[in-house]
Amino acid sequence: MAGRAPFLKVVGTPQAPPAAPAAFAPPFLAPYLRAVRKLDGAGYGASLVAAYERAAAEVAAAVGPEPAIEMADTVSAVVVKAGRRSGERVADAAGDAARRFADPLRFRSWLGLMQRFAAMAPDSVAAVGERMATLLGTLDLSGLEAWLLAGVREAGGDTERRAAFFSFDRPEAARWLAREAGEVVFADHERRLKAYLCALFDVHVPIREPAPGAPEPQRRRPGFAEGLIRMPPTFPGYRGEAAQDVFRAALAHVGAHIRFTGARFPVGQLKPMQVAVVSLIEDARVEALAMRELPGLKRLWLPFHIAHPSGPATAPSLFARLARALIDPDFEDRDGWVRKGRDLFHAAAERMEDPAISRRIGNVLGNDLGQMRVQFNAKTYVVEPPYRDDNLGLWDFGEAPPEDEEAEVIVEAVTIRQTREDEGAADRDRPEEADEGHTSVRLADPDPAAGVPVARYPEYDYQVGRERADWVTVKEYAPRLGSARTVTAILERHHAVRRRIEALIKTARVGRPERLKRRIEGEALDLDAVLDAAIDRRTGSTPDERVYQTTARRQRSLSVLVLVDTSQSTRDRVKGATTSVLDMERDATLLLAEAMDGLGDAFALAAFASDTREDVRYTRLKDFTEDYGGRAREALAGLAPGYSTRLGAALRHAGRDLAAQATHRRLVLVLSDGEPSDIDCPDPRYLVEDARRAVQSLAAQGIDAFCIALDSGADAAHAKIFGARNVLPIARVEQLPQRLPILYMRLTS
């Protein structure tokens, strides 16, 4: 049989398993052999066929022969998209996957996922395949899919970046892995944990994740510096409520430092080991003080102290035991050093408020360790238990602080820029940036041309059906001011429209319904008034005829935020006109602003564009609190087109301003000429779905979103995002200046 020849040839190679495993007994033998022949005939090479055969045996044993045979098609498809090596890696991973799932259906889903991934990110298949066992150790199938998509989206089409993600060279990879694995991630609970810290110690400082380039101990442990708390995104090994408790314990501990430690300790001539021991005593001291006020904190902290009173007397072991001995009265340790530490600490109970005791006790104990010749490696030392901070915040290192990363975590932006510049080693080495004291100055006085990162927002991935937290960075840019003459010219050009707007203003009414009593007419009788009138009649005086009551909306209670899309496409000329789309948007917004100002409505104006998810460019032209006047008009006149349209993030950012407005009605009015898009999002549906999600979440906050869709052919997308009734397509853009104010009246009355 000529057909068998390749098969025989393959099994003859040394690394291949024996021919046709038992799992492929008839009737599966023939299809299996066909699959092998097909792979071999395609010329992918012997090692690939061998890999398939090895995998097929394992898969067949775990989930049956049929999926093992189907796997040949997947391997083949992967090779076509991503090359031979990728095909081999997928085949190698298949055995693990099959054992892990032990279910033919789910294994088939995994095959499908690998095939799709090969199409999306061909250059990363091999890297993922190699790590499949690890990945499947923490992720289920949907988690794996979500993680793979997160990596693809995170890279935004940048292949190098993508490769770095999937080979775990970017810290984001581990972060998203933790997230998808269902580990408790700080960001997901940040609000409640911050409220907890604020309630416990009246501490209100920002909390940030460590910079990706920070040394390992800093990434594993919390920390604090003046005006900032650093918190690792996850505590590996803790799940569910226990993980939330680690975060609570960590914040309570850092809060206790902020409350009770006071001034930093000068590090002076202390050796690293002494620093560690003094820190340990100080940790116990602030906890003791905190527990005096809040005894329940002990129940929170104690379970993390799991040191045993035995084992070798290494520094980390002794430290963990002493830490436990100082908080746990039931802990018994025969070690002389631990007992001495505990005795000294208890002897100082009366002076617990005095931070100097930590220094004194720590010095004594540190010297003892020196005499005991206990070795201490400051580089590898990690504070135990995990909720305790790395203690860098306790110490004043004088001129050259070793924790220069702290300056970088102060604003995530720095982090972000740094990661973009390949971990930004050069950045960190610049001494002025490492100087913590200057950081706030630098941030407070940014380069006007550069954006200031102000917020991070989630983005919704419809393919996995969930929001990715902290996915998009909004940067605010100072407006460029145009000339006042431009403004005057525009207003003159639209003279007639302005007159109509003024007339409309006079009739417009919005507001909260209010009960109006003692009216000449109305829907219901005002009983008080009727009674009074009856009495007036009987007492012979003239009754008041105003005996009705009615409800009416008396004053306008409305806030409007106009969000102008200034993406590159708005540079286009309007058909048959000499002006661009952006000019029309600007004119319309200007006229609308004049109208809103005339009505006394609270309004804000902003423009947006985007340049990848790390730079959603948001320009405040006028804030709610700001008076409308020359500056806002000039800011409008200075609008310039450029970049892309990441609508969802802009909507979320606008929503944050609107949410703070205490009015009856809140409205965001988007002027846009195209559907959402950005250069890092090849999937056209992705940003549309995200914007739709953003609109929904605004609606949940009682904020209405409306879109003026300028002639663009993107009507379908806009209808999907805002709902068909909330989109006004304007075919002839030159009508916009006239129609916008009228539309506004319709929307707000």
Partner 1 sequence: MALDAYRITEEPYYSPAGNEVRLFEAAYAVRLPMMLKGPTGCGKTRFIEHMAWRLDRPLVTVSCHEDMTASDLVGRFLLEGDTTVWHDGPLTTAVREGAVCYLDEIVEARQDTTVVIHSLTDDRRILPLEKKKELVKAHPDFQLVISYNPGYQSVLKDLKESTKQRFCAIDFAYPDSAAEAAIIVAEAGVERKVADQLVTIAARSRNLKGHGLEEGASTRMLIHAGKLTGHGVPFGEACQIALVTPITDDPDIRDALASVIRAAV
Contact residues for partner 1 (CB under 8 A)?
191-193, 195-196, 198-202, 204, 248, 252, 293-297, 299-300, 515, 517, 528, 531-532, 534-535, 538-539, 662
Q: How far is the CB of 701 from partner 1 (least distance, A)?
A: 13
Task: Determine how β-strand 265-266 pairs with β-strand 703-710.
Answer: unpaired
Residue number, 430 or 512, with CB nearest to partner 1: 512
Which two structure tokens, joined as six digits, stand for 603? 């309004």
Q: How far is the CB of 296 from partner 1 (least distance, A)?
A: 4
Residue number, 147 or 201, with CB nearest to partner 1: 201
Residues near 330 by beta carbon (within 8 Å), at least 6 away in sequence: none
Residue number, 296 or 312, with CB nearest to partner 1: 296
Residues near 547 by beta carbon (within 8 Å), at least 6 away in sequence: 518, 525, 526, 529, 530, 533
665 DSSP β-pair partners: 558
Q: How far is the CB of 304 from partner 1 (least distance, A)?
A: 15
Nearest CA among 562, 270, 295 for reference residue 391: 270
Q: Return the amino acid letter for 645.
A: T
What does DSSP assign to residue 404?
T
* CA 269 to chain CA centroid, nearest Å: 42
Residue number, 528 or 626, with CB nearest to partner 1: 528
Residue number, 494 or 666, with CB nearest to partner 1: 666
Residue number, 195 or 426, with CB nearest to partner 1: 195
Which 3 state secondary structure label does DSSP give 524? strand
Count Cβ atoms below 10 Å from residue 448 Cβ, excluding itself.
11
Element (H, E) at 515: strand 513-519
Residue number, 98 or 200, with CB nearest to partner 1: 200
Element (H, E) at 710: strand 703-710
Q: How far is the CB of 677 from partner 1 (least distance, A)?
A: 34
Q: How far is the CB of 518 from partner 1 (least distance, A)?
A: 9
> What CA–CA distance (Å, rounded) separates 631 from 626?
10
Give me the torsion for CA of 100, 102, 104, 107, rounded to 10°: 0
Q: How far is the CB of 557 from partner 1 (least distance, A)?
A: 9
- Contact by Cβ (8 Å): 601, 643: no
Residue number, 100 or 248, with CB nearest to partner 1: 248
Which 3 state secondary structure label does DSSP give 706? strand
Element (H, E) at 602: strand 602-610
Say which residue the tokens 């999600």 belong to.
693
Q: How far is the CB of 294 from partner 1 (least distance, A)?
A: 4
Residue number, 334 or 538, with CB nearest to partner 1: 538
> What CA–CA distance (Å, rounded) separates 677 from 610?
9
Q: How far is the CB of 195 from partner 1 (least distance, A)?
A: 4
Q: How far is the CB of 244 from partner 1 (least distance, A)?
A: 9
